Structure 1
Amino acid sequence: MKKKPNILFLFSDQHSVRAMGDCADTPVETPSLDRLAAGGMGFDNAYCQNPLCVPSRASLLTGKYCRTTGIYDNRHILPANGPTLARALGDAGYRTALVGKTHFNGEQFQGFQERPYGDLYGQAHQPDPARHANESGLGDILGDAGPSGIPLAMTQTEICVSEAAKWLQGHAGRPGDAPFFLAVHFDKPHFPINPPRRFFERFAGRVELQDYDPDWLSHAPAFVQKAAAASGTAHHRGDDAVNARALASYYGCVEWVDDAVGRLLDVIDYLGLFEDTIVIYASDHGEMAARRGLWQKTVFYEDSARVPLIIRWPGVAEAGCRTNALAGLIDLYPTLCAAAGITPPDGLEGCDLAPVITGGEAPDRDLFCESAVLKQPEYAGCMLRRGDWKYCLYLDGAEELYNLADDPDEWNDLSRAPGEAALKADLRAATEAFFRPEGFAARYAATPRMPFEKHFYPYSNQFITGNGVVFDARP
């Protein structure tokens, strides 16, 4: 029997697809991600299933859309003991571990057997800059941007690298031939956007902000306006100096993560695991990163909803290929089940990407993404991608329609174009059938949730046990 492949899953937080070395729009260089892509396949049309941390991660872990998990908010709690990717792989003989940020609410292992280093920002180790008290709890995201003063060894990114490297070396020295599934979840480039000084200084004074019509937001759907207001950054809109410094910091965080990825790829090579290990890089959602004057996520624009996705599968994926096939984070569960020779559980809503990776036909599919404005579920919506088209439907009936082949920056909304009326009606019907907008409020309200987002609690959310394991203590 062929040995099951090892799986190394590298997962960042809030990484814009524009902030990649192969994107001409930014000065960012990502040699480690370029190296990974050169040995595997890059997906140019990969999307999260919700452009918000907790819902996106729940969909990836369960292989189900938010309409099924009921998780739309960073306070929503994922039930314990349900089918998860980690549990499926563990039951199939994999040794499973997660290092870094999970952003699970409720039960903290969700099928992972080991968590050598825990959640959210490594508060048991790292004294992150205190957020200023305000109504949102977000602090001054852009105003606080700049080089970090935290000793490098105390940062979450560096601890993730060291703990993951230690775990891989330990696994290589264990008797037996059990395959591993190691997930390494970085908290960057999510705010606080404070990279080490050497990464910040690469971009300070070098970034260019996008030109845009400053009045565009007043004509946008109410959902977009509310999301912009809830981002914690609206008071800096139009302040070029603040936005440029924040963007330099953001790019620095991206290059820091890339540097971390490179070191873990080196560990895989050093241990002789290259041929036996699938390596995946992805992010839970994107980041507007000053495009249109917006920051953060939750909206359906490409910078927010589309994500980097690279899969290196030696001997299976042709090296250096790219695909335009639609893909979602929801697809990783069935794809990795196929790679491991596991029959996936019933109820998964993603697609196995193995046929695409092996050079076959892309599935003819509709791909969805759902979202609700933070703590304002009356403003919610659903996005549909089909071919070159993107359609968005909101609870108040507002719509957007874009042909991404002709209009990749999404400035030309065709939802009122007479020539697209038939197409729009078809896309609306498909979106309504999937999203069931009339039942959204009930789905949202029925999901148990925490009173606050857990990183806003006024005390450390982690403890260190006697054996040195760091775990998230807030259920």
Structure 2
Amino acid sequence: MMKTIQFLSLFVISGFAFSIEKPNVLLIMVDDMNTMLSTYGHKQVKTPNLEKLKKEGVQFNKAYVQYPQCTASRTSMLTGLYPDQTGVTQLRQHFRNFVPEAKTLPQIFKEKGYYTARVGKIFHYDVPREVGTDGMDDSISWVEKFNPIGIDKIRHDKTTWLGPRKPNDKWGGGAISWMRVGGSSDEHTDGIATQKALELLKAKHSEQTEQPFFLAVGYFRPHVPFAAPEKFFDLYPREKIDFIQSNSRDREDIPIAALSDDHHTLNITDSQRKDVYQAYYASISFIDEEIGKLLNQLELLNLKETTIVIFVSDHGFLMGQHGLWQKKNLFEESVRTPLIISSPFHDNDVNESNAIIELVDLFPTILDLTGIDVPNYLSGKSFASIIDHPVEKFRLSALSQTDSKAGKTRPGFPKVKGYSIRTERFRYTEWDQGNQGAELYDHANDSEEIDNLIFNPDYEREKIKLKAELHKRIKDAQQKI
């Protein structure tokens, strides 16, 4: 952080451009995006603008969410508290009903004199039903807010669902689905969001307003129903798509509590997999292009040298690994999330970090990077120093939790909680404190988490250590604020 503050002091003394000491912040949040991105090494999905952002900052390869579901994850990230502290572990819960005095990240910036604005989804929305509304927003956090709505909501009747929806379910927001409604990028909800954000970057330029900004742009994609202009589907011809094959042996050693199956995905065909992959990939590349427009605007307006950019997804997304889809489980692909931070006040030759990061740490880190005091009640820890020194280590483990969704296809299965830690080498998970099973995966030999080693005697010592670490992490994450 010292490097940041020193730079800003020189920046002001030299009289360069304007006399605002506070840097701007552009927070770009996406929905349900995993690390199947070219910037993370994926060989099919094209994300050139995220690659550009990485070259200008630091990409975090081991960033983990605290709860792989929109509401709980976003609440944890934006309050700096764990889900058991905010009380938010279900979709339609609002943290103000549990911790009304908690301050959000944008709220603190607002109190520090920043112009704070939200465009799109930052706090939770039911997608697609609440697109174009405030959703479950936190109005006190913003000076202004904008709710884009485009043809992907207006023409929702063109959605294709993988399987039948629930009776009387008009929207089907929780089911694997996609739509091909054509149109230009500027006609889609997320394209409209970009255009509004570009306007705000120009209108709220610090040189004109003498006020720094905290602009949060929340894209709805690639949340289901996957949607994008047709040109992005054309990037991924179905016949060239490689998809994850089912591995029946993989599921033999997985506890039932971890199997968050949906009825409509249990018998998915290879042809359907290609449709789903194509639409998901198209949605990602669409959002990547929109992010590129934001980055270009920063350059055009000479804001690049005074603006910290954070790109993050609210959680990952399973695409058939372990025979599972979407989120709400504790496998790597569900709880690992993309995260890139670019700060003009930090310069180094290393653009990747393998430090273990939790998204609860983003709150104090962003405050630290902007020179704002970090509240001492936060559970997250600042990793601002890693922006300067990406090779440094940070946490020993990342904690994630969820409630079992096995009951969706297994009537009568108990509603139990699962907690998991990811260390540098291992993932260790317990369901109902182990009463409904446990999992141990060795990432040194099994990065896809195929072989559950929980009963392997060769790993008994590691299991004991990991069990102790997990229970310590759970206890700490449940401390009242």
| Superposed pair shares fold, TM > 0.5 | yes
Summarize deviations over 1:195-218 as a string: whole Å, max 9, x none: 211111211322112234235335
Per-residue deviation, 1:140: 8.9
User: What residue number does 1:201 align with?
Assistant: 234
Helix, strand or coil: the match of 1:346?
coil
CA distance in 2, matches of 1:398, 1:75: 28
Contact in 2 for aligned 1:15/1:283 (Cα 8 Å): yes
- Counterpart residue number, 1:297: 327
Structure 2 residue aligned with 1:387: 424
Q: Deviations over 1:212-236 (max 9, x none)?
A: 42353354212222x123xx64244
Q: 1:279 to 1:167 in 2, by over 3 A?
A: same
Residue 416 of structure 1 is matched in structure 2 by 455
More divergent stretch after superposition (76-85 vs 167-176) = 167-176
Residue in structure 1 matched with residue 212 of structure 2 by the alignment: 179
1:111-144 Cα distance to aligned partner (Å, 9 max, x none): 12211226xx769974434677415947397774
Matching of residue 367 in structure 1 with residue 387 in structure 2? no
Corresponding residue for 2:221? 188
Q: Residue 119 of structure 2: SS of its match in structure 1?
A: strand
Q: Match for residue 257 of structure 1?
A: 287
Residue of structure 1 in register with 2:131 after alignment:
none
Equivalent position amino acid for 2:462 in 1: L
- Structure 1 contact 165–267 (Cα < 8 Å) conserved: yes
Counterpart position of 1:213? 247
Instruction: Report whether the alignment pairs 1:78 with 2:108.
Output: no
The letter for the 2-side match of 1:321 is N
Q: Which residue of 2 aligns with 1:128?
A: 156
Corresponding residue of 2:442:
403
Who is 2:112 aligned against? 92
- The one of 137, 142, 157 equivalent to 2:190 is 157
In 2, Cα distance between the equivalents of 1:110 and 1:296? 31
- Cα RMSD (Å): 2.8
CA spacing shift, 1:107–1:247, aligned 2, 3 Å? closer
Which amino acid in structure 2 is aligned with residue 379 of structure 1? V
| Cα separation, 1, equivalents of 2:463 and 2:174 | 37
Residue of structure 1 in register with 2:346 after alignment: 316
- Kept in 2, the 8 Å contact 1:145–1:194? The answer is yes
Which of 154, 178, 194 lines up with 1:145 in the alignment? Answer: 178
Q: Aligned partners of 1:123 and 1:61: how far apart in 2?
A: 29
Match of residue 386 from structure 2: 356
Could you tell me whether the CA contact under 8 Å between 1:125 and 1:154 is conserved in 2? no
The secondary structure found in structure 1 opposite 2:362 is: helix
- What's the secondary structure of 1:400's corresponding residue? strand
- Given the superposition, is the C-alpha separation of residues 173 and 391 from structure 1 closer, same or farther in structure 2, using an over 3 Å criterion? closer
| Distance in 2 (alpha carbons) for counterparts of 1:364 and 1:46 | 11
Distance in 1 (alpha carbons) for counterparts of 2:455 and 2:245: 25
Distance 1:77 1:141, change over 3 A: closer
Change (3 A) 1:314 1:173: closer
Deviation string, structure 1 residues 65-107 (Cα, Å, up to 9, x no partner) = 1111111111112205521101111112211111101343655
- 1:15: which partner in 2? 33
Q: Which has the higher helix share?
A: 2
Q: 1:70 to 1:175 in 2, by over 3 A?
A: same
Structure 1 residue aligned with 2:257: 223
Question: Cα 1:282–1:107, aligned 2, differ >3 Å: closer, same or farther?
Answer: closer
Give the corresponding residue for 1:114.
144
Alpha-carbon separation, structure 2, partners of 1:140 and 1:78: 22
**Is contact 1:39–1:319 with CA below 8 Å preserved after alignment?**
no
Q: CA deviation at 1:330?
A: 1.0
Rounded to whole Å, the distance in 2 between the matches of 1:290 and 1:317 is: 39
Shift, 1:287, TM fit: 0.9
The CA deviation at 1:21 is 3.9
Secondary structure of the corresponding residue to residue 228 of structure 1: coil
Please give the per-residue CA displacement for 1:127-163, whole angstroms capped at 9, x wherever unaligned: 4346774159473977743523456433211011001
Residue 331 (structure 1) shift: 1.1
1:19-40 C-alpha deviation (Å, 9 max, x unpaired): 334424x411111000000111
TM norm structure 1: 0.84
Query: Is the partner of 2:319 in helix, strand or coil?
Result: coil
Contact 1:204–1:245 at 8 Å: present in 2 too? no
**Alignment partner of 1:145: what SS?**
strand
Q: C-alpha distance in 1, partners of 2:446/2:295?
A: 36
Question: How many Å separate the matches in 1 of 2:152 and 2:177?
Answer: 22
Q: Distance in 2 between matches of 1:279 and 1:364?
A: 23
Amino acid in the other structure paired with 1:430: E
Which stretch of the first structure deviates more once superposed, 401-410 or 39-48?
401-410
5+ long unaligned stretches in structure 2: 1-8, 13-20, 125-134, 408-413
Structure 1 unaligned blocks of 5 or more? 444-475
Normalising by structure 2, report the TM-score: 0.83
Greater relative CO (CA pairs within 8 A, separation 6+) = 1
Q: Secondary structure at the match of 1:182?
A: strand
Distance 1:223 1:150 in 2: 42
| Partner of residue 42, structure 1 | 59
The change in CA–CA distance for 1:336 and 1:181 in structure 2 (over 3 A counts) is: same
The share of aligned pairs that are identical, in percent, is: 27
